Amino acid sequence: MNQVFLSVEQEMHAALRAHLLPEDSLLEEVAFLYAHPVAKDGALLFQPAEWQPIAPDGFVYRSELGLELTDETRATVIKRSHDLGTSLVEFHSHTGPWPAQFSPSDWYGFSEFVPHVWWRLKGRPYISVVMTRSGFDALAWTLDPTAPQRLDGIYVGGQLVEPTRLSPLSADGYYGPTF
């Protein structure tokens, strides 16, 4: 598979971090980027058109160990992505002391949400990024809604930042912390 990257300006990255990892909260947070995929030098580079933080009323449930978005929130972000003609890039935070990697509950959500997004957005890629205070990990579904590949990195203001690469490529390969 081709390499896959995301590109964000420093200001957007700082705003995402501030939203996802506020110093006074242990709750998981979510934001979505609406990004255009561009083929460049044999790689796929996603460039954001805009981003949307999810407000507290956009969740059915939220804690330091998991979250669930409301049906209205999911429908709203998918519709916005459809209207913009973009792919959807989900960012969410893990606030615990462990390094960045997707949890079993994240994998459960992917099994339902990613195929639904692919269907609604007519096969456009989906990316998920989990961010912690010490780093991030990320997966991209570019060819198949059931088979992710690793995001190779995020260009932040032109500087490449690499993921932890701790997440397996399927729920079956998960050996991280359990909740």
Counts of helices then strands in the chain (DSSP H, E): 3, 11
Listed by start position, the domains of the chain span 4-173
Q: Determine contact, residues 86/162, Cβ cutoff 8 Å.
A: no
Give the CATH fold of the 4-173 domain: Cytidine Deaminase; domain 2 (3.40.140)
- In the three-class reduction of DSSP (H, G, I as helix; E, B as strand; rest coil), residue 144 is classed as coil
User: Per residue in 122-153, pLDDT tens?
Assistant: 999 999 999 999 999 999 999 999 999 999 99
pLDDT for the residue 1: 56
Q: Does the pLDDT at position 17 exceed 80?
A: yes
The closest of 6, 164, 17 to 100, measured between CA atoms, is: 164
User: Per residue in 32-71, pLDDT tens?
Assistant: 999 999 998 889 999 999 999 999 999 999 988 889 999 9
Tell me the CB-side half-sphere exposure of residue 12, using CA atoms within 13 A: 21
User: Per residue in 103-122, pLDDT tens?
Assistant: 988 999 999 999 999 999 99
